Amino acid sequence: MKLLKTALLTSAMLLGGCASSGQSTATESTVHWWNPLTYSWSSALPWHWFSSPVKVTDQGVGGLNSLTPMNESDIHQALGSDYQLRQGMRTESGNIVTFWQALKQGQVMLDIQGKSTISRITVTDPSVVTADGVHIGSPFSALYSKAFGHCQSADNGNSVQCRSPVAGNIQYLYQGEGHGPEGIMPADETLKNWTLTKIIWQQ
């Protein structure tokens, strides 16, 4: 019995010496203790296992739609944690408009407008995919062979705004070089290389 106690005491001292040793392995130096109180449980939900891009459809942008209240908590819940939100006000056509902006790394990716609920979203996030399968930077020719019947001059003639061929609530704003006189639509040959700069969803 005395021998057993001695052996146990010796083992404890050896283990203690190893634990207090100045040497540590690479594995030990990268150990991080898990604190269940600080863990982001939302990332464990099944719909976060496989990330997918935000999509613009006739119903809205991602989880945002015409039923989403114009407040921070509802917008944040619908968009997820990829964006940071900030609120602002501006004047449009003599009226004061309240809006929310969704940012990534300090860059505005979504401009969200409405009164009690969302009515308009302007998208400049290149990771967003539309119902037509295009994104910011896609050429005009990816959707259109001609502007007639689809597009009109916009932004004082510096761009053209076109209706989506498949979604009535979606408009596309294209910009490029080679524009003629103000109010005159550029030739289709010129437009084909213009790129998508804004996706506008409006209820």
CATH number of 142's domain? 2.60.460.10
pLDDT band at 182 (very low <50, low <70, confident <90, very high): low
Query: Which of 66, 99, 123 lies at the terminal end of a domain, its last residue?
Result: 123
| Alpha carbon separation from 187 to 42, 69, 141, 155, 176 (Å, rounded) | 50, 42, 13, 17, 12
Residue 67: band (very low, low, confident or very high) from pLDDT cuts 50, 70, 90: very high
User: Whole domain around residue 155: which residue ranges?
Assistant: 131-202
Please state the domain count of the chain. Answer: 2
The residue ranges of DSSP E strands in 30-106, in sequence order, are: 55-57, 60-61, 64-65, 84-92, 95-104
User: To the nearest whole percent, how much of the chain has pLDDT over 90?
Assistant: 55
Averaged pLDDT for residues 123-128: 96
Judgement on whether residues 115 and 164 belong to the same structural domain of the protein: no
Q: Which of 162, 203, 200, 154 is nearest to 179 (CA)?
A: 154
Length of the chain: 203
CA distance 64 to 112: 9
Q: Which of 18-27, 33-42, 174-183 has the highest mean pLDDT?
A: 174-183
**Domain end marker among 107, 123, 139:** 123
Per-residue pLDDT at 158 = 78
DSSP state of 186: P
Same domain as 135, residue 119: no
Above 80 in pLDDT, residue 121? yes
